[in-house]
A and B are shown apart, each in its own frame.
Chain A
């Protein structure tokens, strides 16, 4: 059992015991009022119990009322309802009690007063006076009789036994005693009903007679009835004894005595009760007041207790509601009863249990959704495809890392910005956003299209798909753009196609060239001597042309063969600066002869790279040849070759930049300059830059071609210094030729 339950149980036991004790005291008080001995012994305890009960109740009530006032002032939940209920219960209990008390007091006052009605009192007084008068007449007569006896005794010479007995009988007295003034008995005459030993003459009788006054009194007897005691002075001069006292006791008639007893008893009882009237009323009222106070206090305490019991579930419900409003769904209200309030509490507990279960389900679903979202975010982050989601007003909602990488600008940092305003002007991102925005603005919300953009890094081909995002109200909830850079893929496809073409050319064209050339030379050798000069010249020019064209075709086929040839790498540590120096020295004389200045600027901090020196040499040859040919016939031509230690992301790279101040690339071809057979020269094969890019990619590098701002072309090559990157590229490219050979 917990502490509050123990406290409640102890309080109930104490209150129950106190209540029973108090009830027993009240009942005992009522019962013991009939038994004075028990009452006088137990009444202090009974009163003490009642007063103690009163004090305890006052204390309890004061505590409860104080608590109620504090709750009221503190705006405690339910305090106002409780106060109202206490007030109503208290008033409902107080009014009848006060009414009963008022009428009980009135009844007591009037009832008790009516018992002691003035007329009764007067009647009793009159009866007493009447009785007393009747007896006094008798007493006076008997006093006179006693005085007559005294006179006669004086005349006969003193209290001698003979005359005394005769006089007693004549007077009808019970007893005659003659004594001295000090009380010494001189003579006695007693009737047969008198005691054998006569009583002494009482001192008060002697005192009064000594004062010369006769004494007469009515004396009630212990055994019932009355006697009249008379005493008169008796002269003793005749007998020589001095003054004496004659006492005579006369009987009162039995009938008269009985009547007198009745009157006396009635008068005494009435007087007694009349005397006790005020204390009687006070006692009744006091007892009634104590009982009333106890009842009243008990009623108020009961009102508070009942209100507390009734309000407690409401307070619990309010607290529970607040707790639920604050998110606490673990609260369980105590079920204190099985009535409607208990049903309400049970329903509340059931509701909170259901709410908690629903919240747990929701939390589980939310957690699952969060997990899914995190997984999706990870997938999107790792995805090589760019994904951008847009708000309905075309603001960037989300963007993954691949989108930023593909578009070359930080799109993740532009979340919340208008999609039309992101990216730099003429940048790839701006072109992309404008293209997408144009499609969406045209009302086309679900589409798939391949975009080709011209960026500073060349032509870029993006495959983009747009899908509207659904919403609950089925209005457009925004858009998601999924795009991929397929430039490389298209390039690879083209390269593969051109490689196939090259192999076929090498196979189909190169083989008949030698017989053609041999046939032309044989025809010239056989026919020339036998022909006239004119025909001979014709044949000579014809066969010469055939041989030259065959040679040209052979060179072209060799070039194709070289392009399509499987790479055979001989990787070694190459000092790039030294290699550049050697190659540029070869071209310096040629360039100078054509009026072109060749400037070389090498970064001494550039370390050696792992590469195939022959392929690199070919790469440089192609670039320098292109540059020299581009500057042919242009005065003030200048070629600049630069190396630099750079970085691409976290990788260190060696940068080789070859620039010239020639006409530069045609703008419309700038994205295709590395494609085979794309050339602006009259005699070029169009394979120079294609081979350059191939060699660079074989070494895991990166090549870009663009025009300088001040005019001229620029090709920039990045070769990784990290061998592992190179190794991966070499292995990838090394695997590539196998199917080509099979197909060949």
Chain B
């Protein structure tokens, strides 16, 4: 005979609570896995420098490309990384007018014959090859001395806001099949705007 004072009714009440804990853990694991599995991109830092009358951008990204996307690149899909840069004049009471807008695009693909990862600057046509995907990602995650705007276009006195964000998109060679990637949405990502002001 058991001298335990717990009753079947109490057990019955405990069972759903236990199930709820397990369910919470399962959902949390799923959420963490999903967060880890998804492609992430953030602007770690960005700044401008005046060089020979031209404002140039230095920016660095934190890139996280999951295994699925890596396998997709190795299989032949192309990863596109766009730097979207906007320059606007800051006004107190009126809407801020946009002064300039630049998009710097890179494509990263795998060359199976040479077993090299190719990084192609779509704006300049330059191409770099790397022996590993990480080296190639490292290459596209950093921009140095990207010319933005001539200093003469920015009036001295007013404050200007510079904003940078990055967008990753997985593309296929035939665009007709690109819509399939909709179903694997973890391959696309877009960062928050990284903004700072500058007064010439």
A residues at B contact (CB < 8 Å) = 32-36, 39-40, 43, 128, 131-132, 135, 204, 217-222, 226, 260, 263-264, 267-276, 279-280, 282-283, 286
Contacts and interface: CB of A to CB of B under 8 A. Distances in A.
Interface in B153-196: 171-184
19 contacts: A33-B179, A35-B175, A36-B171, A40-B182, A43-B179, A204-B131, A217-B114, A218-B114, A220-B116, A260-B113, A264-B113, A268-B76, A268-B109, A268-B111, A269-B173, A272-B76, A272-B77, A275-B76, A283-B183
A267 B178 CA distance: 18
Contacts, number: 101
A-B interface, 8 closest residue pairs, ranked by CB to CB distance from nearest:
A275-B75, A272-B76, A222-B127, A36-B178, A271-B76, A36-B175, A268-B76, A218-B114
B169 to A, nearest CB: 8
Contact of B173 (A260, A272, A283, A286): A272
B126 to A, nearest CB: 7
Contacts of A275: 71-72, 75-77
Nearest to B181: A279
Nearest to A35: B175
Contacts of B1: none
Contacts of B75: 271-272, 274-275
Nearest to B75: A275
B193 to A, nearest CB: 20
Contacts of A218: 113-114, 116
B120 interface: yes
Contact of A279 (B120, B129, B174, B184): B184
Nearest to B188: A40
Interface string B103-130: 0000001111110101010000111011
Contacts of A219: 114, 116, 129
Given A34-B175, A268-B109, 12 more contacts: A33-B179, A36-B171, A40-B179, A220-B111, A220-B114, A220-B127, A222-B126, A268-B111, A269-B173, A275-B72, A279-B181, A283-B183
Q: Identify which of B118, B125, B171, B183 gathers the most chain A CB atoms within 10 Å of its CB.
A: B183
A533 B178 CA distance: 186
**Could you say which of A36, A218, A273 has the most chain B C-beta atoms within 10 Å of its C-beta?**
A36
Nearest to A275: B75
B54 to A, nearest CB: 20
Contacts of B173: 268-269, 272
Nearest to B124: A222
B135 interface: yes
B190 to A, nearest CB: 12
A224 to B, nearest CB: 10
A135 B115 CA distance: 12
Contacts of B135: 204
A636 B118 CA distance: 170
A378 to B, nearest CB: 87
A39 to B, nearest CB: 5
A33 B113 contact: no
A271 B172 CA distance: 11
B77 A220 contact: no
A209 B76 CA distance: 30
Contacts of A220: 111, 113-114, 116, 118, 127, 129
Contact of B120 (A135, A217, A222, A282): A222
Nearest to A37: B175
